[in-house]
Every structure is written in C-alpha cells, then in structure tokens.
A and B are shown apart, each in its own frame.
Chain A
Amino acid sequence: MSNFYLPGTKHTPEVDFRYSEHRLSLKGECFPENAVKFFSDLMNRTQTYLSGLKGQMVEVNVQLTYFNSASTKLLFKMIADFDAASQAGNLVTINWYYDEEDDTLEDFGRDIEDEYTSLKVEMHALTSL
C-alpha cells in the first residue's frame, strides 16, 4: 500500500499517511468546503490499509488547530476504524495534540478516550504561542 501525502492548505490539514511506517499524521486547520468528500478519501485508503493488518503497532498523530462541525463528525467516525483495528488485534495509539488553552480540542480528545476504549489515547498539551 503506497503512502499518501497531501500538503496543508488554509482550510485543509497536511495529511501524511505513511502506511509503510505505520505512522499516520494530520496537522493543521480543517474546514473543507466538502468535508464528506475530503474524509471519505482518507477513510477509504485507511480502511484498505487496516483491513490487512494483524498484530501491528500503529501510531496516529492528530495535531489540528481547528475543525468545523462537519469535520468533527467525520473525524470521530474515522477514529472508529482505528478502534476496530485495535479490537482486531493491533495496537493503535492516538497521539492527540491540543493547545493548552483550547478546551474544545482537549474535550474532543477526551471524547475519543471515552468512546473508543480499545485505543490507547495519549493527550499532549502544547504551550500557547
């Protein structure tokens, strides 16, 4: 499975999915005009990657500064796929980065922890600039 990279824009995050290294990263702003289209592409690729995985350690790094309501819903849905992969015998760690002053982002990380109990969620507070 080939790696997938999208450079970040003003309204979409940098996507750096290194399937070969089992390290998937999202970084930046996330309010695409058509969130369904943006996320379904990422989710299709990731589902294909996860479907063939067994006993693998996977690292998912999420460092988003903002995401809109449509992205919120879809991001949560995408993380369900990682949870399923964990249940299927892999060890998936979500590294959730958030600005220490941003309680919205922190809460979302906690929501992931609550909902997806098979995942290992690491919370990382970043110092405000």
Chain B
Amino acid sequence: MNIALKEFASIARAIPAPATAPESGTDGAGVLSFRNFALRENVIFFFSGYLSQAVINTCAETIQARLDKVEASAKVRRKLLAAFIEIAQNVVHYSSESSTPPDQDEGEFRFGTICITGAGGKFVIMGSNPILAPTETRLHARLEAIRAMSEDEIRRAYRERLSADEAEEHSKGGGLGFLMLARDASAPIEFQFAQDPEWGEMFRMFYLRIAL
C-alpha cells in the first residue's frame, strides 16, 4: 500500500520534467493515470515545486482539513503535521535550488517535493530536495547515527541537544530537527542520496521517508 522510498524517488524525479499537456478530452497516459496512482496509493498530499513559508502555512491548513476526514487519532494527526512542517521548513532552509538570493534568510523560495500517503491511521511522509554534493557525507553520517539509536537513545540525544549551549553548526534547529522526526516515527527513518542526471554532478537528490 505504501510507496517505497525508491518508488517515491522515481516519481519525484519525474515531476519537475516538463509535462506534455494532454489535448482537450484525450487524457492519454497523463492526468488519469496520475489520479489512479494517487487513489491506489492513498495519496493524501503531494507537492512538488518552490516552497516558501506562506506555501507551508497554506499546505498545513490543507493537510489538516484532509486529516479531519480520515480516521486518525489526534495524536497521529499532530505528529504528521509536525513532520510536514519540519520537512517543508528543511526544504526552505536547506534545498540547494533557490529562487531567491543565497544570502536572503527570510521570504525564501526553495525547491522540494513532499508526499503524504496513508490509510487506517498509518501514515508515511516523504520529502526530497537537491543538496550540494559535499553535504551528503555530513548528512549521511548524521542520519545513519540516528537510525542506529534506540527510542531511549533518541530521547537522550534530543535532551542533550536541547540543553547544549551552542547551536550545532550548519543547523537552524540546533540539530534537533531529525531527532524530533525520529522520535515521532514508528520505524527508523529511511533516507537515500542519488545523483540525478537532470541536476548534474554538483548536486545530489536527498530523499527522506518517515513512517508514523
């Protein structure tokens, strides 16, 4: 039922490519197959494009409204919304593809893809965005370390970072973001880096998948 990270990667990859608009009344393999796919995979939300804080606010409202209609506990709904905001804000802060100047730290627009699927109170949220290739090593080490942690260890690491005086370098959330996502997740977080012909050697596509 749930899309695997690999499958999401291929969908996310396909989206930015210019779509050929179907002629009036002849859908071909386009819109309808996307719709069928979305229905089959229980897609609750899908966004691919430039994200800004204003877009995040509106999407959060949309997701909230959609979640009010599916069967899910208040707890899970809140966790899903929290994960969405965390992942979306990561895109706005860290995606290497920006439509605003690199030194601008407010009103930013950056490129990313986010997908939420779910049914029966179980949800998966996936995100992807391009990063600069040298970032991969650091991010890989950080996520691998969190993946290896037990629930208690995640909690302890979170608590340590919370009390730490200095915010972690390269991080606007003091290194808390991934720990908070891991804490809320029902399984270890999954991630992947891929070189993408469309983006070239300077970049890697970073994919993240979190089950709630």
Interface residues in chain A, defined as those with a beta carbon under 8 Å from any beta carbon in chain B: 10-11, 31-37, 66, 68-70, 72-73, 76, 99, 101-104, 111, 115, 128
List residues of chain B with CB within 8 A of the CB of A111.
159, 162
Give the nearest-CB partner of B81 in chain A: A66
| B interface residue count range (under 10 / 10 to 19 / 20 to 34 / 35 or more) | 20 to 34
Give the nearest-CB partner of B181 in chain A: A69
A11, A72, A99, A128: the one contacting B162 at CB < 8 Å is A72
For this complex, 23 residue pairs linking A to B, each with C-beta atoms less than 8 Å apart, are A11-B53, A33-B53, A33-B89, A33-B92, A33-B106, A34-B105, A34-B106, A35-B172, A37-B106, A66-B82, A66-B85, A68-B173, A69-B176, A72-B162, A72-B173, A72-B174, A73-B162, A73-B173, A76-B162, A102-B78, A104-B183, A104-B184, A115-B162
4 additional A-B residue pairs with CB within 8 Å, beyond A32-B53, A101-B78: A33-B107, A72-B180, A76-B163, A104-B78
Can you list the 5 inter-chain pairs with the closest CB atoms, starting with the nearest? A69-B173, A73-B174, A69-B177, A33-B53, A69-B176
Given contacts A33-B89, A68-B86, A111-B159, contact A73 B167 (CB under 8 A): yes
Question: Is the Cβ of B105 less than 8 Å from the Cβ of A102?
Answer: no
A36, A66, A68, A73: the one contacting B78 at CB < 8 Å is A66
Interface residues in chain B, defined as those with a beta carbon under 8 Å from any beta carbon in chain A: 53, 56-57, 60-61, 73-75, 78-79, 81-82, 85-86, 89, 92, 105-108, 159, 161-163, 167, 172-174, 176-177, 180, 183-184
Q: State the majority secondary structure of interface residues on B.
A: helix
List residues of chain B with CB within 8 A of the CB of A104.
78-79, 82, 183-184
Inter-chain CA distance A10–B57, complex, in Å, is 7
